[in-house]
């Protein structure tokens, strides 16, 4: 069979034709030709990408699918912090401070907060949607730090100092801007507010379901009511653990000023700038460097440096401390509500146990009474058995003695029963 016929048969069967052998013309072969019809190798798809929502300080948002390498490069956090945001630690609560970001894992909110943006993981989950709405509504349009150089003209003595498209507030204006929290604390406040509101609503639902069930159990101890209380206690234990985790994390931050100071991302960003360079730029741009102006700039430089150092003190954590204390007290109140429900459950269980103990005591008393009656009847049966023996006795031939004998024997048994019963009451073995 010829070579052309073999190729035609391969094409009819749907098989690719054989590769053409290279022609040996004495020149070196630099490449190998691919067979016709062979698909080119496709690039391997990158796995591990998850859905993230990005919010900037002006409330603008966008959805992106990023893998962990893109998140690490963008936020500047170590790889182990992404494990905290993973499903393994989904029920844990933690607020971690890093050099350029804050890793927040509070209940269902898992986010990475920087001085300029927040990256929210799984933003389309049902319980996360309220947090997304709050971010869109409450994120301010202005902040202490403005980016992209969109500020208006400033004076030489007051205003902002430009530096590569960024604007820093002058120390004279710092006191007027203290009321506005930094961007990272605004996002943290929204997260704590959403989490605390969710926990409060969960506790309210628990209270609404708990008290009727417990009252029903107090009136009627049944298997159905006991099963409902058991399920109620399980839900209460889980809810208390969740509230306790968030509360403990906030308490841990409140106990350590250094950890709270690390959360000031905007402050660290400003401290990383060089105010001396900014002031030097202003001096170099002055057209008439007169002696009075130089003295004025030098005094302004010293005053600015002192005010900046005083305002951006590393251990000045009063704003964050007040913020955390407010939500700590709210969580403490939520925890107290859960504890009050648990105390009510414990009181109901104690009441039910007292009822069961009382019923148990009544059963024991009834059993004791029946035992005394059985003993008296047994004595009567014993005497009747003695006279029922086939032993010759003169009383067997006496007429009219049967019924008086039975009556006397019965009265004797009743008296025996009453005597033993009175003794048991005297010893307080039976209730009055």
Asked, for residue 334, whether it belongs to a domain, the answer is yes
pLDDT at 331 over 80: yes
pLDDT digits (tens, 9 = 90+) for 289-330: 444 443 443 444 444 444 444 445 555 788 899 999 999 999
User: Domain check: are 251 and 377 in the same one?
Assistant: no
Whether 301 is covered by a domain: the verdict is yes
Q: For residue 273, what pLDDT is reported?
A: 65
pLDDT value of position 8? 46
Taking only the tens place, the pLDDT of each residue in 192-217 is 999 999 999 999 999 999 999 999 99
Residue 176 has pLDDT above 50, yes or no: no
Q: Is residue 41 part of a domain?
A: no
Domain boundary among 302, 334, 353: 353
Among 353, 371, 400, residue at a domain's last position: 353
Tokens linked to 258 = 């250094």
Whether 94 and 235 share a structural domain: yes
% of residues, the chain, pLDDT over 70:
68
Q: Residue 283 falls within a domain, yes or no?
A: yes
Mark whether 253 and 387 lie in a shared domain: no
Q: pLDDT of 145-166, one tens digit each?
A: 444 444 433 343 333 433 433 4
- Residue 409 belongs to what domain range? 359-426
Q: pLDDT tens, 11-32?
A: 444 545 544 444 444 444 433 3
Q: Is the residue at 11 inside a domain?
A: no
Which of the residue ranges 136-145, 177-186, 245-254, 280-289 has the most confident prediction, judged by mean pLDDT?
245-254
In this structure, are 328 and 365 located in the same domain?
no
Asked if residue 251 is part of any domain, the answer here is yes
Whether 136 and 235 map to the same domain: the answer is: yes
Asked whether residue 294 falls in the same domain as residue 417, the answer is: no
Is 336 found in the same domain as 393? no
Q: Is 212 inside a domain boundary?
A: yes
CATH number at residue 325: 1.20.58.340
Phi and psi at residue 65, to the nearest 5°: -110, 110
How many domains does the chain fold into? 2
Residues 366 and 395 in one domain: yes
Give burial (CB, 10 Å; 0-12/13-18/19+) of 115: buried
286/210 same-domain check? yes
pLDDT (tens digit per residue) in 252-280: 999 988 888 888 888 888 877 645 455 45
* Per-residue pLDDT at 35 exceeds 70: no
Backbone angles phi, psi at 112, to 5 degrees: -120, 120
369 shares a domain with 347: no
Which of 353, 387, 402 is the last residue in one of the domains?
Answer: 353
């Amino acid at each position: 069979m010829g070579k052309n016929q073999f190729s035609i048969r391969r094409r009819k069967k749907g098989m690719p034709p054989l590769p053409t052998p290279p022609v040996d013309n004495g020149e070196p072969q630099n490449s190998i030709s691919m067979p016709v019809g062979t698909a080119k190798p496709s690039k391997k798809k990158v796995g591990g990408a998850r859905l993230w929502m990005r919010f900037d300080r002006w409330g603008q948002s966008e959805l992106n699918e990023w893998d962990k390498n893109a998140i690490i490069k963008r936020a500047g956090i170590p790889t182990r912090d992404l494990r905290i945001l993973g499903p393994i630690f989904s029920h844990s609560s933690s607020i971690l401070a890093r050099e350029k970001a804050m890793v927040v894992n509070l209940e269902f909110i898992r986010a990475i907060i920087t001085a300029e943006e927040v990256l929210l993981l799984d933003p389309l989950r049902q319980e996360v949607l309220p947090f997304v709405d709050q971010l869109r509504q409450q994120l301010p349009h202005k902040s202490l730090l403005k980016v992209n150089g969109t500020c208006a003209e400033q004076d030489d003595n007051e205003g902002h100092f430009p530096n590569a498209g960024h604007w820093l507030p002058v120390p004279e204006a710092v006191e007027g801007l203290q009321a506005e929290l930094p961007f990272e604390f605004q996002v943290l406040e929204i997260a704590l507010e959403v989490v605390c509101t969710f926990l409060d609503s969960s506790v309210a639902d628990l209270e609404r379901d708990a008290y009727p069930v417990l009252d029903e159990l107090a009136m009627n101890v049944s298997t159905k009511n006991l099963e409902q209380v058991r399920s109620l206690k399980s839900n209460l234990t889980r809810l208390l653990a969740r509230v306790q985790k968030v509360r403990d994390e906030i308490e841990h931050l409140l106990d350590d000023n250094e950890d709270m100071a690390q959360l000031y991302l905007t402050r660290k960003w400003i401290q990383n700038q060089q105010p001396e360079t900014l002031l030097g730029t202003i001096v170099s741009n002055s057209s008439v460097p007169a002696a009075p102006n130089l003295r004025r700039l030098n005094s302004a430089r010293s005053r600015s440096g002192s005010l900046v150092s005083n305002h951006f003190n590393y251990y000045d954590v009063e704003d964050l401390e007040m913020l955390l204390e407010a939500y700590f007290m709210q969580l403490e109140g939520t925890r107290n509500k859960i504890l009050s429900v648990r105390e009510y459950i414990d009181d109901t269980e104690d009441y039910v146990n007292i009822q069961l103990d009382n019923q148990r005591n009544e059963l024991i008393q009834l059993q004791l009474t029946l035992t005394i009656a059985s003993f008296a009847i047994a004595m009567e049966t014993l005497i009747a058995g003695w006279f029922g023996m086939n032993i010759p006795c003169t009383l067997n031939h006496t007429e009219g003695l049967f019924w008086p004998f039975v009556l006397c024997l019965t009265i004797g048994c009743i008296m025996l029963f009453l005597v033993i019963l009175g003794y048991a009451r005297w010893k307080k073995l039976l209730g009055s």
